[in-house]
Homo-oligomer: A and B are copies of this chain.
Amino acid sequence: VSLSSKQLKSLTQLIPDGEVQSAPHQLVAYSYDNSRLQAMPDTVVIPHNREEIIQLVKWCGVNKIPLISRGHGTGTTGATVPVNGGVVLSMEKMNRILEISPQNRFMVVEPGVTNQQVQDAAAEHGFFWPPDPTSAAVCTIGGNLACNASGPRGVKYGSPRENVLGLEAVNGRGEPFKTGCYTTKGVVGYDLTRLLIGSEGTLAVITQATLKLQPLPQTRQTLRVLYNSIQSAAKAVSRIMAQPVIPYSLEFMDDKAIQMISDYSQLNLPDTARALLLIEVDGTYSTIADSVEAIIDSAQTEGCIDVFRANSTEEIEQLWKTRKSLSPALRKVAPKKINEDIVVPVSEIPLFLQKVAEIEVQHGVTIVNFGHAGNGNLHVNLLVDPDDSTQMKAAHLALAAIFKLTLELRGTLSGEHGIGRVKREYVSQEIDAVAMRMMHDIKHVLDPYHILNPGKSLPDDTTG
């Protein structure tokens, strides 16, 4: 695709209040996400309201121009990279919080508001919105919904699909519509809300969302538990998830992840530590002690060598800094690492990690594992140098083996990063041909001109 100057002019006339940007230095800012894929859009449009979006989608339909909606570009799969050119729709000025209803526990927002802004506004009324990706400070709600992103709290409070009541959106014909409702129950018509959530902008442009709020826990306690083997920690995760107290978060790091952050901060962990669990427990002042005891009981499997309770805000921050420094640290070591986020049933984590260690040896690729263990959601990082073709070949064989293993253990290929551009070729290993054809047909229903984020999420429809 390449827009003619006539087309550009008609676009600018169409959206007088919107900003249409086409200078190269402007385009480059919208050409990439956090996957390190890059492709230049033909133009960038920054609308202020739904009406402008309706006009823009209609224009793209008539002109058969790809339309890629994006927030702040923190995704890791290339889902917002305009690989076929076209128009990037940036939600940066659709960033208002429209309503907060504490009594009804909901908040109505535009998609360009950041996760942090939502949390801050909710906290003023004693609430929070559960999804909290590591990028919460900058990522937008629209992006969170597009890839159903959760983060650590997902283990107890669920993903966006469990925490959104309704949406307003514009389909691929440029028609606005509503989904869901403002209440926690409702069964009128088919569930289009969850259909749009996780569809990576391929079915409609979300223009408004009603988020379901949860009351802030009165208090939390943060624990760091160390193990002398990965298997011990994995078994502890299984035990924790089999007893009644569900932790607020339950994060895992393997030996190489520990090593990595030790190099970049002063952790002073014992040399025997080969795995780490970072556990948060929430509750009321009267319940927290019992809940923490229940968790520690389950966490103390054979091989547990240390339990540390954070006793101050500083100590809590220090623990989380450890966890959050992991991705940047990894990126420093291997700037073009392959970062997957598979999920396996919690009871299969020990076997999964054992087999991954075998795959690592077999293919000679360094693999670092950490992630949201309470959901079975592991971030599997292959440290590779993309300029080394032998290494890349080995990495792709290792990756194929990891995905095969994941599916054999009844897992799924992505827990929250999504498919985007980078994992499309693997999707048909998980989704059967019948479901895939119906998904393509549903895509055609909502986006008949195939302009919404083409080439993302689902593999190409090859059935004709």
Contact = CB atoms under 8 A, between A and B. Distances in A.
Given A105-B241, A432-B177, A438-B192, A185 B197 contact: no
B195 A347 contact: no
A328 interface: no
Most buried by B among A176, A192, A193: A192
Interface stretch (A32-40, A42-50, A222-230, A414-422): A414-422
Interface string A273-288: 0000000000110110
A349 to B, nearest CB: 10
Interface residues of A, number: 94
Interface in A336-387: 343-347, 372, 375-377
Contacts of A436: 189
Interface in A98-115: 101-106
A137 interface: no
A397 interface: no
A194 interface: yes
A150 interface: yes
A147 interface: yes
Interface stretch (A308-316, A388-396, A441-449): A441-449
With most chain B CB atoms within 10 A of its CB, the pick from A187, A218, A243 is A187
Contacts of A417: 187
B185 A347 contact: no
A352 to B, nearest CB: 12
Given A177-B434, A290-B287, A376 B183 contact: yes
B178 A158 contact: no
B439 A181 contact: no
A307 interface: no
A183 B412 contact: yes
Contact of A198 (B191, B217, B286): B191
Interface in A438-464: 438-439, 441-443, 445-446, 457-458
Nearest to A199: B190
Nearest to A348: B104
A441 B195 CA distance: 14
B442 A190 contact: yes
B439 A190 contact: yes
Interface string A221-257: 0000000000000000010011111100000000000
17 contacts: A104-B346, A104-B376, A126-B244, A154-B184, A159-B185, A176-B434, A179-B435, A183-B343, A183-B377, A187-B414, A188-B414, A189-B430, A190-B203, A190-B443, A193-B194, A286-B287, A445-B445
Given A186-B415, A187-B414, 10 more contacts: A102-B242, A183-B343, A183-B345, A185-B376, A187-B412, A190-B195, A193-B194, A215-B245, A283-B287, A284-B287
Closest 4 CB pairs of A and B: A215-B244, A103-B347, A185-B415, A194-B194
Interface of A: 101-106, 126, 147-148, 150, 154-155, 158-159, 161-162, 171, 175-179, 181-195, 197-199, 203, 215-218, 238, 241-246, 283-284, 286-287, 289-291, 343-347, 372, 375-377, 410-419, 427, 430-432, 434-436, 438-439, 441-443, 445-446, 457-458
